[in-house]
Amino acid sequence: MREEERIEKGLLFCPGNPDLVAIKRKTHKLNQDYNRLYEDQTAEREAILREMLGGIGEKTFLQGPITFHYGTHTTIGHHCFINFNFTVQDDAKVAIGDHCDFGPNITIVTPVHPMLPDERLRMRCADGEIRRLCYAKPVSIGSYCWLGANVVICPGVTIGDNCVIGAGSVVTKSIPANSFAAGNPCRVIREITEADSMRHKPEILADCAVIEEEP
């Protein structure tokens, strides 16, 4: 079984496998290429993202600097804004929906290491060789989500559509759709409802207006 298949099945795999190392080295170079470009070099930046990632939607903007581990394991939807210092350790799949807003210093991690120190250092593979192994759990973030600054998303987490995750949160468990969640560890504070509309905050709304939906 190829190491990529082992990752997809949630099995122990060897991150030092030559095929995986080749993917990571290519991606790490593309990270550096992207981060050397100016913000207005839009065509060059977009070309790098399309080469590096598993998929990226239209009108999605990554401020940079960015750090993807594999890149090809990550998909990002349409019309997303991702602020400074975005880090994705995408050993397993990472899926981000449409119309998401990410604050600075967002980190998404998927790999998990054995808890016992001896097992972290070495284990025996199916071929009899002794290697350093880990496993990984995918992360999924729905559409229309807002993640505040310095949020960490841990392996295996799913965040539903329309969620707001407070700044500095460490998300260790999945968050249902339409939730405001925050803290370390992150927990659901309450459901997001119509009461959160800016129309109920005239002192902030000032001379702006909420756009009413067509009947």
C-alpha dihedral (192, 137, 48, 170), degrees to nearest 10: 40
Angle between helices 42-52 and 18-36 (to 10 degrees): 170
Q: Residue 95: its pLDDT value, please? A: 98
In a domain, residue 9? The reply is yes
Confidence grade of residue 126 (pLDDT, cut at 50, 70, 90): confident
In a domain, residue 210? The reply is no
In a domain, residue 214? The reply is no
Q: Residue 212: its pLDDT value, please? A: 84
Confidence grade of residue 215 (pLDDT, cut at 50, 70, 90): low
Q: Residue 53: its pLDDT value, please? A: 98
Distance CA 122, CA 180 (A): 41
Q: Residue 122: its pLDDT value, please? A: 95
**Partner residues linked to 198 by β-bridges:** none
State the residue range of the domain holding 17. Answer: 3-205
- Identify whether the C-beta of residue 51 lies closer than 8 Å to the C-beta of residue 30: yes
Average pLDDT, integer, range 145-165: 98
Q: Residue 25: its pLDDT value, please? A: 98
Average pLDDT, integer, range 75-90: 98
Question: Helix H segments across 2-137?
Answer: 3-8, 18-36, 42-52, 117-121
In a domain, residue 196? The reply is yes
Each as own residue / partner, the long-range contacts of residues 171-174 (CB below 8 Å, 24 or more positions apart, any chain) are none
Q: How many domains does the chain have?
A: 1
In a domain, residue 197? The reply is yes
Can you give the pTM of this predicted structure?
Answer: 0.95
Name the token pair of 33: 């290429």
In a domain, residue 136? The reply is yes
User: Residue 177 is part of a domain; what is its CATH number?
Assistant: 2.160.10.10
Cis peptide before 65 (omega within 30 of 0): yes
In a domain, residue 213? The reply is no
In a domain, residue 212? The reply is no
Catalytic residues: 113
Which run of H or of E encompasses 45?
helix 42-52
- Give whole-number Cα distances, 18 to 24, 52, 182, in Å: 10, 18, 39
Q: Answer yes or no: is pLDDT of 214 > 90.
A: no
Q: Answer yes or no: is pLDDT of 21 > 90.
A: yes
